Amino acid sequence: MISSIIFLGLLISCQNKSIESDPSWSVYKSDKKSSSYSSLLQINRHNVEKLEVAWKFIHSDVPPGESFGKYECNPIIVEDVLYATSSRSWVYALDATDGSMIWSYDPFDGARGGGMKRGVTFWSYGKDERVLFTAGNFLYALDSKTGVPIDTFGDSGKVDLNQNLGVNPDSIWVIPTSPGIIYRDLIILGSEVSESYDAAPGHIRAYDVRTGELVWIFHTIPQPGERGYETWPSDAWKYTGGVNNWGGMSLDEERGIVYAPLGSPTYDFYGANRKGQNLYGNSLVALDASNGKLLWHFQTTHHDVWDYDLPAPPTLIDLKKDGEALPLVTLVGKTGFLFVFDRISGQSTFPIEERQVPLSNVPGEELWPTQPFPLKPEPFTRQQFSETDLPDVNDTIRHAVRERFNELRFEGLYTPPDPSGTLMVPGTRGGAEWGGTAVDPETGVLYVNSNESPEIMTMQSQAETNTVASSNLSRGERYYLTHCAICHGGDRRGQLPLHPALVDLPAKRSKAETSELVRAGIGRMPGFAHLSDSQREAITDYLFGEEERSEELAANPSKTSEGYRNITAYSFFRDPEGYPAINPPWGTLNAIDLHTGEYLWKIPLGNYPERQRPGGPETGAENWGGPIVTAGGLVFIAATRDNMFRAFHSGTGELLWSYQLPGGGYATPATFLVEGKQYVVIAVSSSESAPGGSIIAFSLPQQN
């Protein structure tokens, strides 16, 4: 009883401080350190079970009869205004107290538009207040009070991000998904690019917030005379793409250092044309934020052929240890490793060793012989797989999965893609996702959610497909496998909610609409304008199941690019009932003490009740989005496919509150204080009642 009174007294004391120091969530993931931490504690362990819906905002920007699936926005709140993007990439300003709309802006001017967006960036100087965001291949600046584009920024309020990359701007697509980060009068921006051979380079750029002028560029694929150039073939910078920052960045504002985690070079699963370590692919780079100069780097995967991108902003923390504050940067990835570095020197806090890894059987491929393995903390996702990990629901399922497992190559983490088929553990959506981590600066505990999602890779020579096709169907299938299967799967069943299924496409779109989408692209999907009319027509015929018409188009099939492709890319290894072909847990939430590298706790995150053993732990579930942690002793996270929004005890992992959302909460929450009341908000993906998604805010009930 006495301890409870003391704790409540501390809550009241700290709360007064938090109201002054941290009333809002004005930056993506809370602050420029990407901490996903709030010092607010009005909502705490003692009252969180009373949380109730305070308001809802339903996006109405989706055309009738359509829905936009995954909605990943982490809203920001400045004073009493909430700024967010919709699943269609419109921008909204809402009254943070009741969710009423102040203004909205359509960057596509009535066109269909779309694309994954995780939020916006706010900048102010005096009375000049701007909301910066990206849509399509453009960076926009809006007046924060009116939502009107600022004419003096770029070309009438926008900047074309396809420009200034050293390649033909009409031959590429550059579509940032995560917000940029502000340093003084600069917005520093990464991008999402294609995953294929013809991808744009993922160079990092800084633009003047006032004018939109390009101030500096960091070549993530080094050019002659730049550090790292020797880790590639001499002309690789002319034809290689990727190495992009799509997950966001973090900033040490006091020291003027921006930290950017980078993705893999393209093509993601084959690198014979890019022999070497391939810096700065899969690297954390620390840059001088004022000029883009490289300060230090660390590469987490050498010569990546697994698509092991670094998917989330690193988290900065001044760790309190022995009376000192150690400036650290923490980094998570799809492999399930947590790296911890001194953010000034780049030295690792825990030992890292280079270990021998398996070699490739694919002709022409030269993998790097070793990969870095941190010795602490232990991986937060499984990296091994044996028959004991196969699901034992019943004999039929176990037999089917064992039979497939025995056909695949698997030699542990970094087993190379193989023509015979490779089991990939973790998969490309395993380990940490774009939501990243949350860290409590008072306790030094880091929280990260993780996926357990094995995948199958199957390499096929493109030369094998260069045979004369007998019909548009067979030609279309070949082009589909080359250009489309990477997202929609070889079986056209997609990977929901990321990539829609195409098996029932004729019931949803006309052939003319489909052909135009293949040409121009939409949202995350790139356009394929570089394909000939006959190639695009063949793809459409294949998707609609139509045989060749009168003209003989198959006489001279175009030659595909040389090399290999992963024809089962992003295909989960599943059991006959559609669940991951591995024993649970399929998703976890982890708490790691950064002082020691030890786990404070680890629990399943999400549940499939139909697969939960009687009296056993929950199964865990696939999850996207990330956690936040508060001074009230809570970890909030949605993320899971069971559509639950949960609050856990940050010290023990005990579930304290949950709420069934109308759709998937595939976003990172936010919390803020307005007019003395703390709110927690989450972006919710499309549902029957809200095809465009919604934003739901929670608060404690009004006290009389």
Beta-carbon contacts of residue 522 (< 8 Å; ≥ 6 apart): 112, 113, 114, 115
What is the pLDDT, as a whole number, of residue 553? 34
What are the extents of the domains in the chain?
A: 1-74+586-704, 467-558
Cβ(636)–Cβ(696) under 8 Å? Answer: no
Both tokens of 548, joined, read: 């060749």
Distances (CA, A) of 141 to 154, 174, 179, 337: 9, 18, 13, 37
* HSE-CB for 620 with a 13 A CA cutoff: 23
Sheet (strand 455-457) strand order: 422-424, 455-457, 571-572
What is the pLDDT, as a whole number, of residue 13? 39
* Rounded Cα gap, residues 242 and 244, in angstroms: 5
Q: How many CB atoms lie within 10 A of CB 67?
A: 17
Weakest-pLDDT range from 1-10, 84-93, 625-634: 1-10
What 3 state SS string does 238-249 have? HHCCECCCCCCC
| Helix (H) / strand (E) containing 474 | helix 472-483
Whether residue 126 has pLDDT greater than 90: yes
Q: Is the dihedral of CA 179, 498, 432, 589 positive or negative?
A: positive
Whether residue 561 has pLDDT greater than 80: no
Task: Specify which residues 566 forms β-bridges with.
Answer: 459
**Residue 293: is it exposed, middle or buried by C-beta count within 10 angstroms (0-12/13-18/19+)?**
exposed
Whether residue 437 has pLDDT greater than 90: yes
* Rounded Cα gap, residues 668 and 676, in angstroms: 23
Average of pLDDT values for 602-620? 95
Distance of CA 220 to the CA centre of its chain: 19
Task: Specify which residues 501 forms β-bridges with.
Answer: none
Are 1-74+586-704 and 467-558 the same fold in CATH?
Answer: no
**How open is the CA angle 638-640-642, to the nearest 5 degrees?**
110
pTM above 0.85, yes or no: yes
What is the pLDDT, as a whole number, of residue 539? 83
**How open is the CA angle 603-605-607, to the nearest 5 degrees?**
120
What is the pLDDT, as a whole number, of residue 280? 98
Amino acid at residue number 319: L
What is the pLDDT, as a whole number, of residue 558? 34
Among 131, 134, 181, 208, residue whose Cα is nearest residue 316: 181
Q: Which CATH number fits domain 467-558: 3.10.129.10, 3.40.50.150, 1.10.760.10, 2.60.40.1840?
A: 1.10.760.10
* Rounded Cα gap, residues 236 and 444, in angstroms: 42
Amino acid at residue number 72: E
Fold adopted by 1-74+586-704: Thrombin, subunit H (2.40.10)
Among 38, 36, 14, 10, residue whose Cα is nearest residue 24: 38
* Rounded Cα gap, residues 597 and 351, in angstroms: 11
| Average pLDDT for the chain | 89
Whether residue 423 has pLDDT greater than 80: yes
Amino acid at residue number 298: F
More confident residue, 116 or 252: 252
Cβ(588)–Cβ(604) under 8 Å? Answer: yes
More confident residue, 592 or 62: 592
Phi, psi of 476 (to 5 degrees): -60, -40
**Would you place residue 467 in the very low, low, confident or very high pLDDT band (cuts 50, 70, 90)?**
very low
Quick one: what percent of the chain has pLDDT higher than 70? 87
Both tokens of 526, joined, read: 């790139």
Whether residue 9 has pLDDT greater than 90: no
What is the pLDDT, as a whole number, of residue 545? 78
Both tokens of 182, joined, read: 């502000």
pLDDT one-digit tens code per residue, 164-218: 999 999 888 899 999 999 999 999 999 999 888 889 999 999 999 999 999 999 9
3-class DSSP assignment, residue 692: coil
DSSP 636: E
* Rounded Cα gap, residues 414 and 196, in angstroms: 20
3-class DSSP assignment, residue 273: helix
What is the pLDDT, as a whole number, of residue 15? 41
* Rounded Cα gap, residues 69 and 685, in angstroms: 6
Whether residue 472 has pLDDT greater than 70: no
What is the pLDDT, as a whole number, of residue 529? 53
Cβ(657)–Cβ(646) under 8 Å? Answer: yes
Highest mean pLDDT (candidates 372-376, 481-485, 551-555) = 372-376
Cβ(319)–Cβ(594) under 8 Å? Answer: yes
The CA-to-CA distance between both ends of the chain, in Å, stands at 26
What is the pLDDT, as a whole number, of residue 528? 62
Cβ(214)–Cβ(205) under 8 Å? Answer: yes
What is the pLDDT, as a whole number, of residue 503? 76
pLDDT one-digit tens code per residue, 518-553: 766 665 565 565 466 667 778 888 888 765 443 433
